[in-house]
Amino acid sequence: MKNIALLGATGSIGTNTVDVVMAYPELFKIVSLTFHSNSEKGAELIERLKPRYVGVGSEKIKAELTDRFPDIEFGVGAEGLVGAAIYEAVDVVLTAITGSVGLLPTMAAIEVGKDIALANKETLVMAGKWVMEAAEKNNVNILPVDSEHSAIFQCLEGQKVDNLKELVITASGGSFRDLTRDELKTVTLEQALNHPNWSMGKKITIDSSTMMNKGLEVIEAHWLFGTDYDKIKVVLHKESIVHSMIALKDGAYLAQMGPSDMREPIQYALTYPDRLPIKNELAFDLTQIGQLNFEPMDFNRFPMLDLAFTVGKKGGAYPTVYNAANEIAATSFIDGKISYLQIEQFVQRAVDHYQETTEVTLSEVIEIDKQTRTIVERWIKEEGRL
Ligand code: NAD
Ligand code: MG
């Protein structure tokens, strides 16, 4: 029996994780979970999963649910996230929350020796150096849930590090892949949320369309696999069938393929190194798909991908700034406060504004994350469209 802490149980990855767990109740148990604000869905999950510890977003939700579930221990805000992550019985923490708010519980879990099944890529972008160092020190596995990284992880199995030539991350292109930059000026939130291949949370769907998501994934791959940025390539692959590839020095390419179904990488992160049949398997027939296409990424069309390599190579807190500015800008677009192209403008401006002169510590990185949010929020207040 594997005991799981599920951070962000009400979201898209959270829901897929619950499906995986419920398919094998004799193997998996969610002993702690968190959710932020959807107390109706949260209460439903508590009924179904019977966790022992629940982290929620507000005192109000805690009061409401304590009346209903008196036997469960509740925690609020950051304390609730950490409480769920380090809950004693937990073996593995699945980080399915959005944003760098995931850093604190992830670090806390690593420090007490819990394995991490990592969906929350923003954490690794913000503080990859410290997360990976802590994982190594505490002998903790970081198992990728992001489909591209799960694919690379699977391809790398049994390979010697020396044999690797490069990682090839595939990108679907997001909702606006066929639009020109000029056409992007007038796009709406509704159009941006209409992803061609994947059904996901709002923020990651916006990030896919701006190619911020791929940028975050490049930095995530750098930390997860210890690969230099000049050995990480991105190709446009509209079908999202090849989830990513590795190229080996003798010219061989290994690719991992499958349907667009997040249950597969989630389940593999929980069963690794074993595999289990997936329940309610999605249809997958290459003869029906017929063709797979690969195209070069246009860095002028997708400047946020170009910027990811720039901030990644600069290192320090540059990726922190890139991520924090985007978290504020993407959320502000979702909230109708800025236009679509302003997302990129604010991210670029935050990165240009930031000057790093000395090596940064983790506590400085946390401070820089906060400062960036404040600055970008101020810019948006002063200059946002609405
Ligand atoms: P989502 O918006 O559907 O769900 C987010 C979850 O986080 C919810 O349970 C919500 O309650 C919780 N949450 C939100 N803000 C919070 C806060 N401030 N404090 C505590 N909890 C908070 O998001 P998602 O699509 O499931 O994505 C979750 C993470 O997984 C993201 O980092 C995303 O990049 C990554 N990811 C998602 C997918 C996917 O298919 N959805 C694929 C790969 C990686
Ligand atoms: Mg991905």
Domain layout of the chain by residue ranges: 2-140
Taking the C-alpha atoms of residue 53 and residue 70, their distance in angstroms, rounded to an integer, is 11
Is 122 annotated among the ligand-binding residues?
Answer: yes
Fold of 2-140: Rossmann fold (3.40.50)
Cis peptide before 265 (omega within 30 of 0): no
DSSP E strands: which ranges in the chain?
2-7, 28-34, 53-56, 73-76, 92-95, 115-118, 142-144, 164-171, 232-236, 242-248, 253-257, 295-296
Q: Angle at CA 309, nearest 5°, toward 226 and 266?
A: 55
Nearest CA to ligand 1 atom 7: 97
- Residues with Cβ < 8 Å from 125, sequence gap 6 or more? 100, 216, 219, 220, 319, 320, 322, 323
Q: Which two tokens stand for residue 28?
A: 């998996």
Is 10 annotated among the ligand-binding residues?
Answer: yes
Name the closest ligand to CA 117: 1
- Whether 374 has a pLDDT exceeding 90, the answer reads yes
Closest alpha carbon to 168 in 112, 225, 208, 209: 225
Nearest CA to ligand 1 atom 32: 120
> What does the DSSP 8-state code read for residue 25?
T
Identity of the amino acid at 46? I
Taking the C-alpha atoms of residue 79 and residue 305, their distance in angstroms, rounded to an integer, is 34
- Taken in order 384, 220, 149, 287, the sign of the CA dihedral is positive
What are the CA-CA distances from residue 219 to residues 25, 240, 353 (Å)? 35, 20, 20
- Whether 316 has a pLDDT exceeding 80, the answer reads yes
Name the closest ligand to CA 76: 1
Atom of ligand 1 nearest to the CA of 207: 34
- Ligand 1 touching residue 120 (CB < 6 A): yes
The three-state secondary structure class of 371 is helix
Between the CA of 248 and the centroid of ligand 1 the distance, in Å, is 33
For 42, phi and psi rounded to 5 degrees? -60, -45
Pairing of strands 142-144, 242-248: unpaired
Between the CA of 150 and the centroid of ligand 1 the distance, in Å, is 17
Taking the C-alpha atoms of residue 126 and residue 317, their distance in angstroms, rounded to an integer, is 7
Between the CA of 173 and the centroid of ligand 1 the distance, in Å, is 20
Q: Which two tokens stand for residue 304?
A: 């946020």
Is 366 annotated among the ligand-binding residues?
Answer: no
Atom of ligand 1 nearest to the CA of 99: 32
- Ligand 1 touching residue 119 (CB < 6 A): yes
ipTM: 0.99
- Ligand 1 touching residue 200 (CB < 6 A): yes
Question: For residue range 240-294, what is the model confidence (pLDDT) as tens digits?
Answer: 999 999 999 999 999 999 999 999 999 999 999 999 999 999 999 999 999 999 9
Question: For residue range 185-204, what is the model confidence (pLDDT) as tens digits?
Answer: 999 999 999 988 888 999 99
Between the CA of 151 and the centroid of ligand 1 the distance, in Å, is 20
DSSP E strands: which ranges in 162-223?
164-171
For 299-317, b where at least 16 C-beta lie within 10 A, e where not — what string?
eebbbbbebbbebbeebbb
Mean pLDDT of the chain: 97
Between the CA of 19 and the centroid of ligand 1 the distance, in Å, is 16
- What pLDDT, on a 0 to 100 scale, did the predictor assign at position 198? 85
Is 199 annotated among the ligand-binding residues?
Answer: no
Q: Angle at CA 122, nearest 5°, toward 120 and 126?
A: 135
Between the CA of 217 and the centroid of ligand 2 the distance, in Å, is 7
- Whether 236 has a pLDDT exceeding 70, the answer reads yes
Count CA within 13 A, CB hemisphere, residue 338: 24
CA 259 to chain centroid: 19
Question: For residue range 333-365, what is the model confidence (pLDDT) as tens digits?
Answer: 999 999 999 999 999 999 999 999 999 999 999
- Whether 385 has a pLDDT exceeding 80, the answer reads no
- What pLDDT, on a 0 to 100 scale, did the predictor assign at position 196? 87
CA 313 to chain centroid: 20
- Ligand 1 touching residue 195 (CB < 6 A): no
- Ligand 1 touching residue 342 (CB < 6 A): no
Q: State the pLDDT confidence band at 384, using cuts at 50, 70 and 90.
A: confident
- Residues with Cβ < 8 Å from 21, sequence gap 6 or more? 4, 6, 28, 29, 30, 49, 270
Taking the C-alpha atoms of residue 342 and residue 336, their distance in angstroms, rounded to an integer, is 11
Pocket test for ligand 1, best of 32, 46, 56, 98 (most atoms within 8 A of CB): 98
